[in-house]
Amino acid sequence: MRDNRNFWLFAMGRFVSLVGSGVQDVALPLFILDLTGSGTIMGTFMIISMLPRLLLYPIAGVLGDRINRKWIMVWMDFGRGVVILLLALLASKNLITIPILFGTQFVVSIMNALFGPATSAMLPDIVEKEELMRANSILMSLNSTAYIVGPALGGIIYGIEGIMAAFLINGVSFIASGISELFIRYEQKVEKIKNIGEIIDGLRDGLNYIRVQRGILILMGFALVVNFFAAPIFAVLYPYVMRIVIKFTAEQYGLLETSFMGGILLGNILIGALFAKKKAENLLVKGLIVETILLLIFAVLMFPQSIAFFLGPSWRMFGAIALVSVLMGISNAFVNTPLNVEFQQLVPTEYRARVFSVLEVMSQGIIPIGYGLVGILLDKTPAHLIALSLAVLVLFLVLLFVTKYSKAVFIEFESRKKEAEMEAML
């Protein structure tokens, strides 16, 4: 790799902060559900977590191309650490309320928006092109490990110490991540932003780049609709079913959260060791099909008959859900890792942050609506019927994409990359 020191500072900073985030990501939904028992409140929290990030992502992408990406990462990590440590202080005095959680989550979501595009765009600049698949595999493996350790700790810590300890660990982890990133040696040629018009022009450049990329437009349209149906299953319906319907303990819930990320870790290890040279299209198509079939099985496990068969919140039920989650994680890695590499190779560095930010919005822009609808439905409709309906819709969309569009998308990707290589040689 171009600079192992830079890559490992980058990777370990992310690892530490993700462990802390994993702790809080398990503890906070449990806290909200224990406090309210409401799917609507849970859905609203997820909207607040995501909506500011989506609205600001395009602007954040422009800033990531015009301001040094390293310093964006450093200051956003420090900022998030301070806000979450403030929550820990309030929790220690029993002053945490739902409005306070919503308000601070809104602020953290803004900082997440500024952090994301800069991070995504920086990695290809500190890793050689031929090492990108391996670097992404290593990075995603570390991220998956963090989300195995973090949620497992989160369930235990919340069950024993409560929400204050979870906030404290996460806040400290963000501060530690910022300190690690301070030592990255990273130079980026940027033009200073003189006025708001330059931000708008930069955003327009990113949109114009995507507008002529038919393959990207097709892929993002597919991702937009699939995420609308699939994302609420994991973010809203899953914690509701595990805690309110099946009634798993906090420790069991934390371990179940680790199972999916454990699968992603195994998937990325397999990619790095055995499939790094395979075509991205083949990996993605097979991963999509397998993950969708597993999503249907996952929905069936939520039926009352399945819960009764596995004896409710028993370790038999735990094992069945965990196995499906691990396999879903493996197949998810076969979708996302090669896709990330394709985009990193396809998009020039001078456009990368703003293009990645626009792609994020294009692929996830209507997810908050899905969160809200599923949250409301959970208070009125059996969760298993919602899960099965959403899984069937996802299956239809995946089959449509695989049979009609995937080949054309990747043919265009290869053509665009060859054109870029030819232009670089001239």
Tokens (6 digits) for 158: 């919340």
Q: Structural domain of residue 98, as residue ranges?
A: 4-183+196-425
DSSP symbols for 367-410: HHHHHHHHHHHHTTS-HHHHHHHHHHHHHHHHHHHHHHTHHHHH
- The token duo for 371 is 């969160």
Count of domains forming the chain: 1
Say what the pLDDT of residue 261 is: 80
Backbone dihedral angles phi then psi of residue 247, each to the nearest 5 degrees: 70, 45
* pTM of the predicted protein model: 0.74
CB 61 within 8 A of CB 190: no
Q: Give me the sign of the Cα torsion angle 413, 419, 422, 424.
A: negative
Residue 190 in domain:
no
- Write the DSSP assignment of 134-185 as a string of letters: HHHHHHHHHHHHHHHHHHHHHHHHHHHT-HHHHHHHHHHHHHHHHHHHHT--
User: In this predicted model, what pLDDT tens digit does every residue of 54-110 receive, in sequence order?
Assistant: 777 767 666 766 677 788 888 988 999 999 999 999 999 888 888 999 999 899 888
Cα Rg of the chain (Å, integer): 21
CB 289 within 8 A of CB 402: yes
| pLDDT at 354 (0 to 100) | 66
CA atoms within 13 A on the CB side of 4: 0
Cα 350 from Cα 189, distance rounded (Å): 9
**Domain for residue 106, yes or no?**
yes
Tens digit of each residue's pLDDT, the chain (426 residues): 445 778 888 888 888 888 888 888 888 888 888 888 888 888 888 888 888 777 777 676 667 666 777 888 889 889 999 999 999 999 998 888 889 999 998 998 888 878 876 776 677 777 776 677 677 778 877 877 887 888 888 888 888 888 899 999 989 988 988 888 888 877 666 555 555 565 666 667 667 776 767 777 777 788 888 888 998 998 889 988 998 899 998 888 888 888 888 888 888 788 777 776 777 778 888 888 999 999 999 999 999 999 999 998 999 999 999 999 999 999 988 888 777 777 766 666 666 666 776 777 767 778 888 888 998 998 889 999 999 999 999 999 999 988 887 777 777 777 766 665 666 555
* Domain CATH for 112: 1.20.1250.20
Under a CB-based contact definition with an 8 Å cutoff, are residues 242 and 248 in contact? yes
